[in-house]
Structure 1
Amino acid sequence: MKNIEKPLRIDIVSDVVCPWCVVGYRQLAEALKQTNTEYEIHWHPFELNPNMPSEGQNFREHIAEKYGSTKQESDASRARMTEAGSEVGFEFNFSDDMRMHNTFNLHQLLHWAHQQGRMHELKQALFTAHFTNGRNISDHSVLADIASETGLDRSEALAVLEDQRFAKEVRAAEQHWQQQGIQSVPAVIFNERHLVSGAQGVENFTSILQQLADMPD
């Protein structure tokens, strides 16, 4: 690959409760490593379930209501996700009492973390908290704990959640990406021009990165 003078800009529109978002990111990260690509990642908010009540809903019930999935179909889907996760070093621990959450507060916390230079770390910690450790990410106290574990100030994190100071900014960001035609996640945009949807796999992401590197400036 030729050397690229400036890092590859990667915008990722995603939601913390989207399993393919963490799988897709891990696949992309591996492809970036294998191709020795210089890059900068920018995370952006998307809510899979903006009308979800604040207390959340049982995960299996939610999937059945939203997609009409049977238990067998749901189990098969979980097995596929678990296998895809293990291939990129991410552990899914699905259980019958797992919940789907409204993520508007999480995106506000991530917006704040970005100002502190820790958005990426918090995003990864939230993926793990939800999918691996089954923590209640609808709970402000739990979210503040997770923020603290990534080096952020716990009391300030709690204040951000309580006073909703970044609600307007997060809504505007969500609307921006919807206006760009983003209707599902993960959505990965390279150099603000090339949109790739879904968890493409390490091989496909590697191919995409090589094609981008070979493009004329």
Structure 2
Amino acid sequence: MNTQSSPLRIDIISDVMCPWCVIGYRQLAQALDATGVSHEIHWHPFELNPNMPAEGQDGAEHIAEKYGSTPEQSKQNRTHMTALGAELGFEFGFQDGFRMHNTFNTHQLLHWAGELERKQDLKEALFSAHFTHRRDLSDADVLADVAGEIGLDRAEAVAVLKDQRFAKSVRDVEAFWVQQGIQGVPAVVFDRQHLVTGAQGVENYTSILNQIVKEDA
């Protein structure tokens, strides 16, 4: 039973190109539901591939270059992630030709959505757009479409991306987390002091939440 006097702050540093960020978040969400811990989630930007060209790169080719994975290993990893996603109610649409993209504009749009208290909704919509529906998130029109589909002002989304008004803000937040030692995602910080990296699984997240609540009681 949660006896907190105030919501637990949870900072999640992630990139919408990161499949483990989807899995980790879904695992954490299940653990939060199971424990009933009162919480507030704050999403923060991280670019896995800040030097990715505008046209993106074939996913399998990218993984091979970055991690040295063989085609067979890459296929096995995707099969594993697809199964984990299905268990968590998320559909991964990995197929040949699946592409990775630069996400700086995506993070700017999320920053804008945060000012409207809709960052959580847009984050989940972008995860689905990329991984389930294989939409090109490097395309400003696609990003604006996704924003419009969840009820945000599409024209304003277009303007945000065109004038790059949140570029510096996003760069500053990215730099802050790098300075805190974040080198990979997902990275989850509980109560501003407990850092957990990687997708930990529902049971581990549940244990972490219970321990933090016990310490704060």
TM-score range, shorter chain: over 0.9
String of CA shifts for 1:59-100, please: whole Å, max 9, x gaps: 111111111111101000101111111111111010111110
Distance in 1 (CA, whole Å) between partners of 2:18 and 2:42 is: 17
Aligned residue for 2:41, secondary structure, equals: strand
TM-score by length of 1: 0.98
Distance in 2 (CA, whole Å) between partners of 1:144 and 1:128 is: 15
Aligned residue for 2:12, secondary structure, equals: strand
Distance in 2 (CA, whole Å) between partners of 1:125 and 1:55 is: 21
Distance in 1 (CA, whole Å) between partners of 2:185 and 2:215 is: 26
Matches within 5 A, 1:46-195: 46-195=46-195
Give, as a single letter, the amino acid of the residue that structure 1 aligns with 2:62: H
Distance in 2 (CA, whole Å) between partners of 1:144 and 1:210 is: 39
Give, as a single letter, the amino acid of the residue that structure 2 aligns with 1:50: P
String of CA shifts for 1:124-162, please: whole Å, max 9, x gaps: 000000000011111111110000011110011011111
Distance in 1 (CA, whole Å) between partners of 2:40 and 2:66 is: 34
Give, as a single letter, the amino acid of the residue that structure 2 aligns with 1:180: Q
Distance in 2 (CA, whole Å) between partners of 1:56 and 1:159 is: 23
Give, as a single letter, the amino acid of the residue that structure 1 aligns with 2:17: V
Give, as a single letter, the amino acid of the residue that structure 2 aligns with 1:190: F
Distance in 2 (CA, whole Å) between partners of 1:200 and 1:63 is: 22
Give, as a single letter, the amino acid of the residue that structure 1 aligns with 2:8: L
Shift of residue 216, structure 1, vs aligned partner:
3.8
Distance in 2 (CA, whole Å) between partners of 1:96 and 1:6 is: 47
String of CA shifts for 1:97-135, please: whole Å, max 9, x gaps: 111000000000000000111100000000000000011
Distance in 2 (CA, whole Å) between partners of 1:62 and 1:130 is: 16
Which 4+ runs in 1 deviate beyond 3 A? Answer: none
1:200 maps to 2:200: yes
Aligned residue for 2:189, secondary structure, equals: strand
TM-score by length of 2: 0.98
Show the counterpart of 1:12.
12
Shift of residue 2, structure 1, vs aligned partner:
4.4
Percent identical pairs in the alignment equals 65
Show the counterpart of 1:35.
35
Distance in 2 (CA, whole Å) between partners of 1:90 and 1:194 is: 27
Distance in 1 (CA, whole Å) between partners of 2:20 and 2:167 is: 25
Gaps of 5+ in 2: none
Shift of residue 163, structure 1, vs aligned partner:
1.0
Distance in 2 (CA, whole Å) between partners of 1:216 and 1:51 is: 42
Distance in 1 (CA, whole Å) between partners of 2:45 and 2:150 is: 19
Distance in 2 (CA, whole Å) between partners of 1:104 and 1:138 is: 9
